[in-house]
Structures are given as structure tokens and as C-alpha cells.
Amino acid sequence: MSKNFKIYLGVFLVILAIMGIFQINKKPIVDWRKNFDPNSKTPFGLFVFNKEADHLFGGTLERINQSPYDYYSKEKQTPKHNILIIEKNLDTESWRKILDKVNTGSSAMLISRALPAMLEDSLQFRLWVNNSDTTYNLEFTDVKLKNDTLLINRLPDSRGFTKINKSTEIIGYNKTSGFGNDEYKNANFIKIKHGQGYFYLYSEPSAISNYYLLKSRSAYHTKLFSFLPQQKTIWFTESKSVGNSQSPMRFILSNPPLRYALYIAILGLALFMIFNAKRKQRIVPIVEPLKNTSLEFVKSIGNLYLQEGDFHDMMAKKAQYFLHKIRLDLLIDTSNLDEEFIKKLHLKTGVKIEAIQEAVSLIKKAQDPYSNVMKEDFVKMNSLLDDILK
């Protein structure tokens, strides 16, 4: 493992640890957007409704992941049925198909905060918006259902129907308390006859969202869909997926911690590839420097002299080397090894004069070719000369 790779790995692990600490301390953020997605578990998604819809419609519900125009263009012969549209922006031709089907005897429930102008003109109503954020209760006009109510206290839409035809039946309304004991009722659930069928228009899609389905303990939601005839119901979910995703990564992508871990792993792999894609320098061979064999040579010569036992010659060479150093370093004349030489050497080296006298005596003995030299003399002279040269 190269040094650079260790550095990159260390930096990556530190970043990963910091992100992990922030993720642990991070408070979950609730998405309060009103998406009305059948697969969304956010407060205003329709996940709970999507799971309970089959039971709610008695097993007669069919989910269609197409636009009404595409579906009815292929299905030429369709018996009377219920049409369910929840907060969808359909094209004009799809609305025309729905009008045609209701005209021939089917029923359509449109749960939406906005409807197209062509539908308002055809059915003679207007959908108004009250910008007030006051909480209100959703109730039915039927006195038998007076106990089945729902309190809207979180992000109310405050929408209702106005300019409705006299023949239009008001099924439900939202009730707001005013000053004192005054109450204001606005129609939010109406029934309009169209040809041989009926339109059921409901302006409170939030009522069937996850938040209110899990919070409410009343039978309001069950009664809401009980106005539809007992027949097959087709729920147009348009382009959004109704079932679970079939992607092999659906479990990882559906869990934020696993999704973040996957993104970090991909980022780390990309950084690793980028840093390792650059050209690497080829390996430079190690060139050993030339060895200085002078010391080995001197040792070899010394061992040779010791083996031969010629101490007289070794003493003479040692003396010659010593006198050369004295002339070169101390600038003392060595032609006469007399008392004057001994005195100068003593003054410049600081060595005791007795030791210098003994050393000079041994040097003279080494210079005499006829003197008898012993090993002890060589060892003694070598020690004295080394002390003087220190």
C-alpha cells in the first residue's frame, strides 16, 4: 500500500466519520409537502390510503397506471363503473373521456383542490379558495352522519364550491367557527347529475392523506366513499407507480442511511480512480556508491606485518608517520630529535615531558637499523605517539 493511498484513505475515513457524527445527531426532517403520491409515507402522501383502498372498496378496486384517454381508447366496451381521480392534472381529452363515461351511466369521484375550467363550465360550478388558515371541521349534510366528522388543523386548504346549480346536491361542507356563536359552512362535497351518471366532487384531498387517516378515529373516511354506487371502481394513478419498485436497489434507495452510504462509496471509488489514474514514475534502481577500501587495505597490511612479526619495520614506519604529522601540523623541525625538539613538542602539545622523552627514545631506537626491537617496544611507542597526536 503506497503512502499516497494511505493518505487518501485516511482523509476519506475522517470525512466518513464526520458525516456519520452529523448524521447521528441530525434530527429527522418531516416533508409536509402535499404530494398525494400513493407510495409516499410523508404526512400528505397516500401510502395508507393505497394500502387500505382494496378493503375500503370491497375488493372491487382496480388501479390503472394510464391516463383515462389511453385506457378508454383501448377498452371500447366497459360496463358501468366508478371512476376515482385523486389530485391529478389530466389532459383535456382525458377529461372528455370521463365526461362521456359518466354521461353513459358511470359515476366519477374527483378529489382535487383544482379542476379544469372546461369541467366547471360543463357541470356549472366554481371552485373557490379561501386563503384563511383557520382550522375547521369536515361534516356531512345527512343528519344520520352528524357524528362522523374530521378536524382539519394542519395546513388546511380552505377550498369549497360556489355558483353551483340548483339541482346540485350538497353532501358535505367544512364548518368554521366565527365570532361568538356564529358558524360558517362552505360546501366542499357535492353531487352533480350528468346524463345517466353522477359526478362526486370533493375539494379536501388532505382528508385521505396519511396524517389524517392515522390521526382520526371517526368513520368519516369510510362514509366519504360510501356515496359511490356498489360497483367496480377504477382508480387512475396516471404516470406514478402504484406498486413497489422492481429495481434491485429499491431497498437501499428507500432508506436514507443506506442511500447516503451508497453515494459515499461511489464518491470514494471515483476519487480513488481519479488519483490512481495519473502516470506513476517508474521504479528507479538503487545504485550502490563505490566503497572506500583504504581502511580495509590498511588493516590488511597491518595484519600482514603482525603475521610476519617485523616489529622493527612497523616501528620505523610509525615513527616516520609521526614525524611527518609533527612537521605538517605543529611546524616543528624534526631533523634533530634533541632537547630543543622535546621542549617545543611539550609546549605545543601539553603532554608531559617525560612521556615525550620516552617517545623520542623509542623513535631513535626504531630509526637505528641495528637495534633489537621487541613487540613490547612497538606497543609502547604506538601508545605514546597516539597520545601526543591527540
Please tell me the pTM assigned to this model: 0.59
> Quick one: 386 exposed, middle or buried, by C-beta within 10 A (0-12, 13-18, 19+)?
exposed
In whole angstroms, what is the distance from residue 151 CA to residue 26 CA? 32
Write down the pLDDT at residue 2: 65
> Quick one: 2 exposed, middle or buried, by C-beta within 10 A (0-12, 13-18, 19+)?
exposed
Lookup result for grid cell 482523509: 11
3-class secondary-structure state, position 51: helix
In DSSP terms, 109 is beta-bridged to 84, 200
All three cell numbers of 156 = 388546511
In whole angstroms, what is the distance from residue 300 CA to residue 302 CA? 5
C-beta of residue 107 within 8 angstroms of C-beta of residue 145: no
Query: Which regions in the chain score pLDDT beneath 70?
Result: 1-2, 4-5, 8, 20, 22-28, 131-133, 178-182, 238-251, 254, 277-281, 305-306, 308-309
State the amino acid at position 334 in one-letter form: T
C-beta of residue 51 within 8 angstroms of C-beta of residue 38: no
Write down the pLDDT at residue 231: 93
In whole angstroms, what is the distance from residue 279 CA to residue 373 CA? 72
3-class secondary-structure state, position 200: strand
Lookup result for grid cell 480513488: 272
Write down the pLDDT at residue 25: 65
Selection from 209, 232, 237, 213 nearest residue 58 by Cα: 232
All three cell numbers of 204 = 379536501
Query: What's the CA angle centered on 376, arms 345 and 301, to 5 degrees?
Result: 85
In whole angstroms, what is the distance from residue 353 CA to residue 327 CA? 19
pLDDT 10s digits, 163-210 = 888 889 999 998 887 555 567 888 999 999 999 999 999 999 999 999
pLDDT 10s digits, 211-235 = 999 988 888 989 999 999 999 999 9
> Quick one: 27 exposed, middle or buried, by C-beta within 10 A (0-12, 13-18, 19+)?
exposed
3-class secondary-structure state, position 199: strand
In whole angstroms, what is the distance from residue 258 CA to residue 252 CA? 5
